A and B are shown apart, each in its own frame.
Chain A
Amino acid sequence: MMHAIDPIILTLILLLPLAGAILVALLPDRAKLPNWLALLTSLVTFVLTLHLPAHFAYGQTGFQFERNIPWIASPAIFYHVGVDGLSLWLVVLTGLLAPVGVVASWKAIQARRKVFYSLFLVQQTAMFGVFVSLDLMLYYGFWELSLVPMAILIAMYGRKEGPRAALKFFLFTFIPSAPLLVAILWLYVRTHTFNFTDLQYQTASGVLPAGALFWVALAFLFAFAVKVPVFPLHGWLADTYNEAPVALAMVVAGKLGLYSMLRFHVGLFPAQAHAIAPLLIALGVIGILYGACLALVQRDFWRLLAYAALSLFGLIVLAIYGLSFTGWSGAVFQILSDGVVDGSLFLLLGALEVRYGTSLISSYGGLAAKLPRTASYFVIAALALIGLPMLSGFIGEFIILSSTFAFVSHGWAVAAALGVILGAAYMLWLVQRLFYGPESNLASSMRSPDLGFGELSILTPLVVLMLVMGLAPNLWLNSIQTGIHPPQHPTNVISIQKPQASTKISVILSEPANGGRVEGSAVAFSRDVAPSLPAVPSLARVGTHEKQLASASGAHQ
């Protein structure tokens, strides 16, 4: 079912925020004009992103809405964009968080609004670009571009130590991208292509020397791990969360790096990812526990949120490097859920900070009576973060933990579950300290209005979304699974390594993707393949066995 707009929809999504940014920069900074323009641009962009799931061919694997135009002849860089099940919802999430960011900045940003909103929109384009680029050079371009507006905005609108935090953030994330670029260039010199799918076959075919490929994969991983961040590379995170304007803090960490890991590390270098997976699993679990423990002792709620994020990202890293399809579905779902939940929490805490002028937790207390709406929204978001059943966080955490239990090891699953319990502790304690208990001096001395119409109109959909994601996860999981399943180009693979490895995967693949009970199917996996970790569920490699898989699955059923 083709639609007239399909071939250019991704280009529109990329260009619209940029056009908005230029418009905001050109028009005068008068009477909230930049705010309204930014809101309008981000809402229209969000509506455009909704076109993607509405017209996505769900049964199909591979990339859709693709566009592949030569950009530079030599070296052969293409404007190659497209989405698959993996990136589809991440694009929508990015679109959704943009208006949330604008609303969150509505009152917080008073000076130099033009600069703020135009850079904010440029940042938006860069993030969309990261998710839709299928040409490594284009991807790298957007990846780097996403750093610049972020760093400038942190410096300009930071709370106290803006420039220092901005410099820290920029250097932490820019320096690892140097080896990343060298790795990309090396791949290009060897393969003469930046095309993601071509490269996927080349790396799987064994043409490239394994020794060098190890370093190349490591360069990719390192850049992504800093950006996520993975313990122990999180040095920039707390300062950035503490200083960055709310609208940017909610997008600065996590999804760009996690998506890149899934697509460009695990997806491009399956064998190397398999080799390094045990390390990443260990770091992921350490991150979960370390982040949760530090979150427990923070006095500032931004810092608390930073360490909570470190803990949550650790869980997703664990899921990605568990190297199972179930785990990957859980990882993507958890990224989406975190995006929505974190977005709401940032919005609410930002609202508190604007009203009371501090982020010190001890200054608050007993706010529930004065700000009942804030309190109830906050409680729902906090519960979603903890993973209360029926809310979005539960699904992701459950899939991740059960797949870890089944495919990785029982020990790591138990340790990760411990971290999740600690998560409940710090979150509920935060709720208690902010909203319940005796009313603090600050709360009683200041009269502040509860959430206004603007905030409510953006928070309510988010909360509803948490509920829908918790109740009907298959709306998302089905399409995510098509993205994780192998692409259908079996003929392009030159040679096949360890063919017997993929027969076990066939069990996973053969599970009806629309099963309706993801939890159930995860348990089923554990029965079928629990004894050993499937060698490497490489996207390309499994693709070679498409037909065998079909027959195997028939036999299995």
Chain B
Amino acid sequence: MTSVPDIYRILPEFILTLTGVAVMLIDSSLPPSWSRRYLGFLAAIGTTIALWASILQLEFPQGTGFFQTVETSAFTVFFHVLICGLVLVALLLAIDTLPPHTHHQGEFYALIVFGAVGMCLLTSAVELLLVFIALEISSISTYILAAYRKQTGRSPEAAIKYFLLGSFATAFLLYGIALVFGATGTTQIYEIAHLAPTAQNHTLVIAALALMLVGILFKVSAVPFHVWTPDVYEGAPSPVVALMSTAPKIAAFALLLRVVYEMFPDLRSLWAPLLWIVAVLSMTVGNLAALRQQNVKRMLAYSAIAHAGYLLAAFAGIGEVGIAAAAFYAAAYAAMNVGIFAIITLVAGYDEQLSLIDDFRGLVYRSPLLGCLLIFFLISLIGIPFTGGFFGKFYAFTAAVGGGAIALAIIGLLNSGLAAGYYLRLALVAAQRPLADQPVPRKPEVGVAVGAALLLAVIATLVLGIIPGATLDAAQSAAHTLQAPPAATTSPTSAASPQAAPLQSPQ
């Protein structure tokens, strides 16, 4: 067996860290009057390299590094690519939409990149303490970013709400980790998976699972842990919302997959019904609340809650089917959600004067490109075929039906009918003729960076909707590696021997 140097196991995270540090150092050494815009491009380039490095990791045999704390496998690569892609889009979006005189603009980019480090690490950590650290890295960056529009009252309010509730939820997670350590004597996920079924104090394990679920479900904003979402999304700057409604959520979903499918597969009879209930609640509450919103960002916040519910429906699927469906849904959700937030950012402007639904009236006439793209992403969110949103729902509900949760699939699909109501309302308002007495707002400008970001999102949504095969294969091999982790309790040197064959390329 060829041993892989440990550093390769965290190559993307390493590159991202270097990028972030470089951005901060250059930012502080530039004269205050110089534009910081190009630091954004630097960050974007670093993220692209990290993305490439993630794909490169497929070349190594699956295994762990740093004393079995981080793993590289098709699973981690899948989520790394997704997260790096999202961060890239968010950076490109920020480059064109941040006002030129924003304070600490360099830090803004650096914080996004540091957040990405945490999110990537969250998906690849197989040691619960590292999981906790990664979660904190990613959360702290997002707390600060949420407060960035500090001229208005709403932004710091959102940040403080997010920070207090988020810390509280993380405490739950930490408590769960402590209990699981108490029950099994270890915090290494493979070992827990091995020891948990035979743990003497079974109640402790169940309590640990419950507490960890609370912590993670808060991060994915599932009902009943969703209350923070609309306020935070409404208050935070739009480019930040584009990031935080996708990347950290997806990282948290990866963690959830790891916890339930890898760490506690034997407790399926406990967590599956729980997630069933949370899925139904999330979809229904999210959609019903979204129907009543007047502010587009709040509406999309509730829609994000509902989508978390659809994704949780995939967890009703058994084994690899469920994991693959969840991973695919995460990709589809990421593509369309980051796209729609990019458009909201452009239309509403950084100062968000135009964030009511009625402000979008006549968008197709005002700016045909943005109007049509808005409708396109809304169609994907509704789940119309030939878009990513459709196949996401399709796989999620196929997994649910396959796992015997037909009621869940029916509730989910009826919910997507309900959701069509508010998505379509926005689409139709945008397609309507502008009122005669409506003040003509400024025409949103689509710069090069934003154009590239939008193009990425559109292509991803279309590819996932028309030729989902490649992504699905990647999701399936990700699911496969998660279901068959390297032999856990053996020594690190022989750990990877049965799985020493190079990972399949996602293609």
Contact = CB atoms under 8 A, between A and B. Distances in A.
Interface of A: 72-75, 111-112, 115, 140-142, 144-145, 147-148, 151-152, 155-156, 162-163, 166-167, 170-171, 174-175, 177-179, 181-182, 185-186, 188-189
B385 A141 contact: yes
Given A72-B469, A186-B401, A178 B386 contact: no
B472 interface: yes
Given A152-B428, A189-B398, 4 more contacts: A155-B427, A155-B428, A156-B433, A188-B398
B397 A152 contact: no
B469 A73 contact: yes
19 contacts: A72-B467, A72-B468, A72-B469, A75-B398, A141-B386, A142-B385, A144-B384, A145-B385, A148-B379, A155-B427, A155-B428, A156-B431, A163-B425, A179-B413, A181-B394, A182-B401, A182-B409, A188-B398, A189-B401
Contacts, number: 99
Nearest to A175: B417
Contacts of A189: 398, 401-402
B380 to A, nearest CB: 11
A140 B417 contact: no
B473 to A, nearest CB: 8
Nearest to B423: A170
Contact of A156 (B384, B390, B418, B432): B432
B414 interface: yes
B185 to A, nearest CB: 41
A521 B416 CA distance: 49
Interface in B378-394: 379, 382, 384-386, 390, 394
A33 B406 CA distance: 50
B364 interface: yes
B385 A166 contact: no
Given A115-B364, A162-B432, A167-B425, A186 B417 contact: no
Contact of A178 (B394, B417, B429): B417
Nearest to A140: B385
Interface pairs A-B: 5 shortest CB-CB: A178-B413, A141-B385, A175-B417, A155-B428, A163-B428
A178 B467 CA distance: 23
A190 to B, nearest CB: 9
A75 B420 CA distance: 25
A111 B431 CA distance: 12
A106 B342 CA distance: 36
A170 B382 CA distance: 11
Contacts of A179: 410, 413-414
B375 interface: yes
B364 A182 contact: no
A152 B414 contact: no
A151 B430 CA distance: 13
A112 B420 contact: no
Contacts of B432: 155-156, 162-163
A490 B340 CA distance: 52
A170 B401 contact: no
A167 B413 contact: no
B398 A185 contact: yes
B495 interface: no
A72 B468 CA distance: 7
A178 B401 contact: no
Contact of B416 (A145, A148, A178, A185): A178
B421 interface: yes
B474 to A, nearest CB: 13
A151 B433 CA distance: 15
Contacts of B433: 111, 156
B14 interface: no
A73 B431 CA distance: 37
B424 interface: yes
Contacts of B467: 72
Interface in B207-238: none
B384 A145 contact: yes
Given A145-B384, A170-B424, A171-B420, A152 B401 contact: no
Contacts of A185: 394, 397-398, 401, 409
Contacts of A171: 417, 420-421, 424
Considering residues B417, B421, B472, which has the most beta carbons from chain A within 10 angstroms of its beta carbon?
Answer: B417
A148 B421 CA distance: 13
